[in-house]
Amino acid sequence: MKKPIIFSIALMIISIASASAQKFQLGVKGGVNFFNVQDQGGTYSQALNNQFQFGYNLGGFAILNLSKHVGIQPEVMWNEYQTRTSDNANAIYDSLWPGKNISLNYLTVPLLLNISPSKIITFQVGPQFGILINESQTFYNNTKNAFKKGDFSMVGGVQLNLAWIKLGARYVVGLNNISDLPNSNAWKNHGAQAYVGIKII
């Protein structure tokens, strides 16, 4: 999972460095996440509370316009995803802590295709690679990490371009199992994001 992340960051840097012949933008952005870890059954089928929790996102973006209506938007983001164990977690496994908040902090690299039918609106879709930097809780025997270090998602959303300000909303669907517990079915990140971006260049 780390190799795609490194490749994606390198691709973004090379693209920006070679963008002298292209119209491009650079900026910073930040906003809120409304996420949960979707528990899809198995030994720990009721270990997580399926309610959505608030977190935050912060990072930078580049926009490389390939034509009047099509472009590429790579980003490097810090994302906090919040989830919570269910109240009956101990009934499933002794080392699961019921009613505990869990904070998952990811360094994520979305690589988005921008489709702009007009200057004011842009539709976005593309993959997102993530590396888990740290988690606030471990559950399994209090020593073994419960979550894998890599995440892969698909992103779709819409962005409003208001002069040097960008307002956006996205939905993120996790595609890979992030659970590192034995004998468990898939846990997948999914949720919505809203953000405000400021164009620097």
pLDDT (0 to 100) of residue 140: 53
Distance CA 45, CA 72 (A): 39
Classify the C-alpha dihedral 147-148-149-155 as positive or negative.
Answer: negative
Q: What is the CATH number of the domain that holds 118?
A: 2.40.160.20
HEC-encoded secondary structure of the chain: CHHHHHHHHHHHHHHHHCHHHCEEEEEEEEEEEEEEEEECCECCCCCEECCCEEEEEEEEEEEEECCCCEEEEEEEEEEEEEEEECCCHHHHCCCCCCCCEEEEEEEEEEEEEEECCCCCEEEEEEEEEEEEEEECCCCECCCECCECCEEEEEEEEEEEEECCEEEEEEEEEECCCCECCCCECCEEEEEEEEEEEEECC
Half-sphere exposure (Cβ direction) of 121: Cα atoms closer than 13 Å: 5
Provide the number of structural domains found in the chain: 1
Q: Which residue has the tokens 């740290």?
A: 134
pLDDT (0 to 100) of residue 20: 46
Which structure tokens are listed for 31?
């906003």
Range of the domain at 144: 2-199
Which structure tokens are listed for 140?
């399994």
pLDDT (0 to 100) of residue 136: 66
**Exposure letters 62-97 (e unless 16+ CB within 10 A, then b):** bbbbeeeeebbbbbbbebbbbbbbbeebeeebeebe
User: Environment class of residue 44 by beta-carbon count within 10 Å: exposed (0-12), middle (13-18) or buried (19+)?
Assistant: buried
pLDDT (0 to 100) of residue 5: 62
- Averaged pLDDT, groups of 10, the chain, 201 residues long: 62 56 84 87 60 92 93 96 68 54 90 96 97 71 68 97 96 89 76 97 85
